[in-house]
Structure 1
Amino acid sequence: MAIYIDPPIWRSRGRLWSHVISDVSFAELHGFAARLGAPGRAFERDHYDIPSEAYAEAVRLGAHEVSCQELLGLLRSSGLRRPKFARGPARP
């Protein structure tokens, strides 16, 4: 399993959040999120937003703890990165 989680340092809606990714497939990521009990609405393009209260459980279930920079690098190198805003001309 290749699931990764960054520290819960992202502040939003009065809470702290982590990002959970897979460097293998979205199917693996969605399966992990289901075991964690994350709702579908927590999925954002290429990762799940996980509240700090679920961090320890995600690690217990097998997520590898990495820094924010490492997580982004893993996501990019996997080819699964889906940026919010694409650069360059629109593609048909």
Structure 2
Amino acid sequence: MSVLIDQPMWPAHGTLWCHLVSDSSLAELHAFAAANGIPRRGFDLDHYDVPERLHATLVAAGAHPVGNRDLVLRLRSSGLRVSARERAARTDPPTP
């Protein structure tokens, strides 16, 4: 059971962002995020979006730094990954 964090490389809102995931459970992920002051609004179905300024703090708190590809592979292996198709179905309004 691990909380994983990738490298900040996703630009938005004037900063770089990284992803925080669990390779075992969403409960573990939410608990880690809450314990480290990450707001629930940063959660996006299977991960938290985290600003670059928090990366070192989260690593010091126990998040394991991994490469971007490894993060996705481990998230898929855990069964927690939400596919692009599932993501679209959850966010698109139903068609009349």
Calculate the TM-score normalised by the size of structure 1: 0.89
Q: Which residue of 2 aligns with 1:70?
A: 70
**Whole-angstrom CA distance in 2 between matches of 1:85 and 1:55:** 29
Q: Which residue of 1 aligns with 2:50?
A: 50
The structure richer in strand per residue is 1
**Whole-angstrom CA distance in 2 between matches of 1:42 and 1:56:** 18
Aligned CA RMSD, in angstroms, stands at 0.9
The structure richer in helix per residue is 2
**Whole-angstrom CA distance in 1 between matches of 2:18 and 2:26:** 17
**Whole-angstrom CA distance in 2 between matches of 1:44 and 1:51:** 14
**Whole-angstrom CA distance in 1 between matches of 2:48 and 2:8:** 12
**Whole-angstrom CA distance in 1 between matches of 2:7 and 2:56:** 10
- The list of structure 1 runs, each at least 4 consecutive aligned residues, that deviate by more than 4 angstroms after superposition, is none
Calculate the TM-score normalised by the size of structure 2: 0.86
Q: Which runs of 5+ in 1 are unaligned?
A: 87-92
> What SS is found at the alignment partner of 1:27?
helix
TM-aligned CA deviation for residue 55 of structure 1: 0.3
